[in-house]
Structure 1
Amino acid sequence: MTGPGPSVLRGVRRTLGTLAARIYLTGCVLLLGWALVAASEGSMAIVIPMFATLPASLVLLLLLPEGDATFLLSMVLGALVNAVVIGWCARALRRGNNPDTAS
């Protein structure tokens, strides 16, 4: 008998496999890369990826302990949480009135 673990991981993998979630994650990676390069010059560019990963990154930023790595970790985890939600919404909209019996 398998527990709820594998089915949850399978669902997350399915939602992250949607085109909308992949485009969102790609955009977040590009924004974060740009911000890390631009922030080395003393600018406030690091807030742009934070806005792109709201609201999940803000909640994680408030829950995690303070530090530079926490800021980056909250943005990465926030992007993943948002991508799962985007992927779930994309799958639900594509499914329409036909419920997916496999998930």
Structure 2
Amino acid sequence: MVCAALLVWALVDTYRDSSGESMAGVIPLLATTPVSFAVAVLPEHETMFIAAVALGALVNATVIGWCSRALRHGDRTDPAA
């Protein structure tokens, strides 16, 4: 949700900036690192920027989910416990 809001803000700010020097796109990329940096080096187009942020957010959410599940289960050796 936060990444989507940052992405919308960056796109709106970039369209409103007539000088073409807006750095607003950096914020969503930083929020979804490291995957978004790897995808952001692909051909420069607006859809690639959106795909980089979306993929980065998805991967980060998956990793955070795995980590939270592992921390909730703790160090149990018996799966029935």
Normalised to the residue count of structure 2, the TM-score between the two structures is 0.78
Distance 1:99 1:82, change over 3 A: farther
The correspondence of residues 1-103 of structure 1 with structure 2, limited to 5 A, is 26-42=1-17, 43-62=22-41, 64-98=42-76
Q: Distance in 2 between matches of 1:100 and 1:87?
A: 22
The CA RMSD over aligned residues, in Å, is 1.9
Change (3 A) 1:98 1:47: same
The answer for unaligned runs of 5 or more in structure 2 is none
Larger relative contact order, structure 1 or 2 (CA cutoff 8 Å, min sep 6): 1
Query: Following TM superposition, by how much is the alpha carbon of 1:76 offset from its aligned partner in structure 2, in angstroms?
Result: 0.7
The number of aligned residues is: 75
User: Per-residue deviation at 1:99?
Assistant: 5.7
Q: Percent identity?
A: 52
Between Structure 1 and Structure 2, the one with more helix by share is 1
